[in-house]
Structure 1
Amino acid sequence: MWGIIPAAGQGTRIQPLAFSKELLPVGVRRDGGTERPRAVSEYLLERLALGGATKVCLVISPHKADILRYYGDRVDGVDIAYVVQPRAAGLCDALFRACPLVGPDEPVAVGLPDTIWFPEDGLARLPDDRFSFLTFPVDQPQHFDAVVAGPDGRISQIQVKAPEPASRWIWGAFKMPGRTFHELHALWRERDREDEYLGTLVNAWIARGGEAWNAPLGTGYVDVGTLHGYREALTLLGALEPTGRP
């Protein structure tokens, strides 16, 4: 299974930094008896691996060679590949840069590298054979992409940063078959690549008869891309010590 990490963003909400925002130290990692700072994107790599990913594609900008130096070609048994998004052009553009790597019969899992969420094995609980979103309850869903779904779990709409969203559940990661990934890419190209946000593309997919499913399994979600979120993450992780798990 492929994991895809869109890591080409400029991180304007938390700049200035002397390094890519995906390498922002948050918490610690224990290697044997040694502790070291842990980059925020390591949390997502861990969750992708727990979800079944054996290879991960990091989508980076031309100015983020520090990510390549940090991770190299392999992390904890997971092979790492890199593709370049030449300029900032939105989440959809970043994700579909990985299309040449993904076979139609390979599942794909995607998360955001500046987030920390629980449970750690959330992606592992999603099926490989359908398009499913791992969703989380938050207090201010208007700042995220809210997921509206029926009692059967079928998603009817994703509301992108709506002022008054109809749901307090937001998506934090998703999984789909490789064939669906390529079908979404084809739809994005058919729509003249106008979709910057994934939510608008998924809404068009649903309007065409495509299916997407809600998996409201999340118990905690923090966006570390802002100073407020960074502080929340430190508080959350501090509350989990010494085990590091909820």
Structure 2
Amino acid sequence: MSYKKLTKAVIPVAGLGTRFLPATKAIPKEMLTVVDKPLIQYIIHEAAEAGITDIILVTHSSKGAIENHFDKHYELEAELEIRGKKDRLESLKEITPKGVRIVSVRQPEALGLGHAILCASPIIADNEPFAVLLPDVLMHHSVKGCLAQMTEQYRKMHTSVVALEAVPDDQVEKYGIAAVKGPDLRIVELVEKPKPADAPSNLSVVGRYIFTPRLMEILKTTKPGAGGEIQLTDAMDELLNEEVMFGFEFKNGQTYDCGDKLGYLQANVEYALRDKALGKGFKAYLKSLKLS
């Protein structure tokens, strides 16, 4: 059996970001910056590092700023060229990774994550695998990004791969939890926000997925579940009845839940400390900080 190369990724960006109001009243939550780059830019560069060449943004009418960010701005680039602002001009040219195409499709109604992914189906061929990256989750790794590591596993096994990360036992009820079997982390069950006493493990699903083509087929017939929405978890449960699915435990890196205010602030602090230009001065500032 031949397997198609993984080249496409779906990034759902249609959510309204109500947890960050009033900041997100006029600015898409994905455009909130971590240091000097919007969240969505980090996510797209992670996808490009993994060999993704086609990125499908599942968007909403209020998210035009995201599409504009990845479009060329000829007047601004010309002005920077005239003024000799070479470093700033380069930062603009690096926004979209080389060799990556970005297209957008609309999610007409907020009908769940599964529905958002399904909206990308016209651009993904019936026999194509695809990745899904959730833009609220920022994953830092000093050597190789999470999706790039997952892609290596997919190339060997040609099965769906789901990123997992261990969380404290008393926090499992905040996450989707995977029940796994064996050292290769074969997923046998997915449990949404279980009570600590009922959790099959402490491995949470953290917003990076690689799916075989069958997942999109299943989504097309998945009926609305919790909240009247088409749930990705329901489709994944059905896929588990038909195919093997493996977890990929993200280690030696750091995950930031940037859909949460505290996680977003932590990301800003730690990315600033890692920044070559800012890190030293920012660290000195933090050490000197005295709040009344």
Distance 1:182 1:210, change over 3 A: same
TM-score, with normalisation over the residues of structure 1?
Answer: 0.85
Give 1:15-34 correspondences, 5 Å limit: 15-17=21-23, 18-27=26-35
User: Aligned residue for 1:199?
Assistant: 233
Aligned counterpart for 2:248 among listed residues 178, 198, 215: 215
Task: Report the structure, 1 or 2, having the larger helix content.
Answer: 2
Partner residue of 1:31? none
Q: Is 1:160–1:200's contact at 8 Å kept on the other side of the alignment?
A: no
Query: Residue 3 of structure 2 aligns with which residue?
Result: none
SS at match of 1:75: coil
Instruction: Give the distance between the partners of 2:164 and 2:180, measured in 1 at CA.
Output: 11
Distance 1:121 1:153 in 2: 19
Structure 2 unaligned runs (5+)?
1-6, 73-94, 279-292
Deviation for aligned residue 1:243: 8.8
| 1:183–1:243 distance in 2 versus 1, CA, 3 Å | farther
Aligned equivalent of 2:263: 229
Task: Give the drift of 1:242.
Answer: 2.6
Does 2:205 correspond to 1:183? no
Q: What is the CA deviation profile of residues 27-78 of structure 1, one whole-angstrom value per residue up to 9, with x for unaligned ones?
A: 2xxxxxxxxx200111111111111100100000122112111123882221
For residue 143 of structure 1, the aligned residue among 156, 174, 180 is 174
Between the aligned partners of 2:176 and 2:57, the Cα distance in structure 1 is: 22
Q: What are the equivalent positions in structure 2 for 1:69-108 lying under 5 Å apart?
A: 69-72=68-71, 75-77=96-98, 78-108=100-130
Residue aligning to 1:8: 14
Residue of structure 1 in register with 2:201 after alignment? 167
Instruction: Give the counterpart letter for 2:164 in structure 1.
Output: T
* CA distance in 1 between partners of 2:106 and 2:112 (Å): 13
Alignment partner, residue 163 of structure 2: 134
Runs of 4+ in 1 over 6 A off after TM superposition: none
Secondary structure, aligned partner of 2:61: coil
Q: Deviations over 1:165-188 (max 9, x none)?
A: 3322222201123x22333323xx
Root mean square deviation of aligned Cα: 2.2
Partner deviation per Cα, 1:107-164 (whole Å, 9 max, x = no partner) = 3111111211133422222214210012222333322222221113210112222232
Aligned-partner residue type, residue 76 of structure 1: P
Q: Shift of residue 19 of structure 1?
A: 0.3
* Structure with the greater alpha carbon radius of gyration: 2
Specify the alignment match of 1:154 in structure 2: 186
**Structure with greater strand share of residues:** 1
Pairing partner for 1:123 from 122, 147, 169? 147
1:124 partner letter: A
Quick one: distance in 1 between partners of 2:262 and 2:116? 26
